[in-house]
């Protein structure tokens, strides 16, 4: 696949993926001058998510003709007040020059469901895993805003395979070296072990390129 340029595209993303996107920009894969991020963890507040997303898309449109949205669909935006209103709806309302990456959530952007199943078998023997990306560590207090110990107890311990961080940028190893006590405290709060698993950014690059190519053909 020939490398595609993002120079005429502005990118709007959930801040949880800012680590990976800034890495891709630094290494030269993303040659756009326009990266816009919403606050990490807004799947917990879909009305604020929608407000910020629309505001960032409108701002991005001022900088470029094409806008690529890096947000999952199925799991990132669930509107209980308007069940028929989806992430796809929001994107379609912004016009033909706005497209969204085809993935269900940030973990799916980094590793496909099949790859996650393979990793889960390898690392956790097929037990239920809580998947994360590095942003779920860096922005923990935003991602889990409003979660108390009771809510944590309801959600995490049933993931008997622990938490696996799909790490494509070497973040977890650095974090363990620099902030071991914080990772231990995080693990204690979740009541499950947290470990990193090294992956590549190949899938993410492919998904970004696919939508960028479709945008440029419009």
Listed by start position, the domains of the chain span 9-107+201-217, 112-198
CATH class of the structural domain 9-107+201-217? alpha beta
pLDDT in tens, 98-142: 999 999 999 999 999 999 999 999 999 999 999 999 999 999 999
CB of 68 within 8 A of CB of 9?
yes
Cα 116 to Cα 15: distance, rounded to the nearest angstrom: 22
Q: What burial letters (b/e) apply to 81-106, b meaning 16+ CB within 10 Å?
A: eeeeeebeebbeebeeebbbbebebb
Tokens linked to 190? 């979740």
pLDDT of residue 204: 98
pLDDT in tens, 154-213: 999 999 999 999 999 999 999 999 999 999 999 999 999 999 999 999 999 999 999 999
pTM score of the predicted model: 0.94
pLDDT of residue 74: 78
Token pair 């940028």: residue? 169
Count the alpha carbons within 13 Å of 55 in the hemisphere toward its beta carbon.
10
pLDDT at 80 over 90: no
CB of 11 within 8 A of CB of 21?
yes
The three-class DSSP label of residue 110 is helix
CB of 132 within 8 A of CB of 109?
no
Instruction: Provide the sign of the torsion angle of the four alpha carbons 5, 108, 35, 170, taken in this order.
Output: negative
Q: What are phi and psi of 197, to 5 degrees?
A: -135, 120
């Amino acid at each position: 696949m020939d490398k595609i340029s993002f120079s005429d595209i502005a990118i709007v993303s959930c801040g949880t993926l800012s680590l990976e996107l800034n890495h891709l920009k630094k290494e030269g894969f993303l040659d756009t001058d326009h990266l816009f991020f919403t606050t990490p963890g807004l799947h917990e507040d879909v009305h604020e998510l929608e407000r910020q997303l629309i505001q960032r898309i409108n701002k991005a449109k001022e900088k470029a003709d094409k806008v690529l949205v890096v947000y999952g669909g199925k799991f990132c935006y669930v509107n209980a007040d308007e069940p028929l209103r989806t992430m796809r709806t929001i994107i379609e309302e912004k016009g033909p020059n706005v497209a969204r990456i085809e993935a269900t959530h940030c973990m799916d952007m980094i590793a496909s469901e099949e790859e996650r199943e393979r990793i889960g078998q390898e690392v956790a023997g097929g037990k239920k895993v809580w998947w994360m990306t590095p942003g779920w560590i860096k922005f923990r207090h935003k991602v889990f805003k409003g979660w108390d110990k009771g809510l944590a107890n309801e959600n995490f311990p049933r993931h008997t395979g622990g938490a696996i961080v799909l790490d494509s940028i070497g973040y977890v190893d650095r974090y363990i070296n620099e902030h071991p006590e914080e990772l231990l405290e995080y693990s204690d709060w979740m009541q499950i072990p947290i470990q990193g698993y090294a992956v590549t950014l190949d899938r993410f690059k492919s998904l970004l390129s696919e939508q960028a190519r479709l945008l440029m053909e419009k």
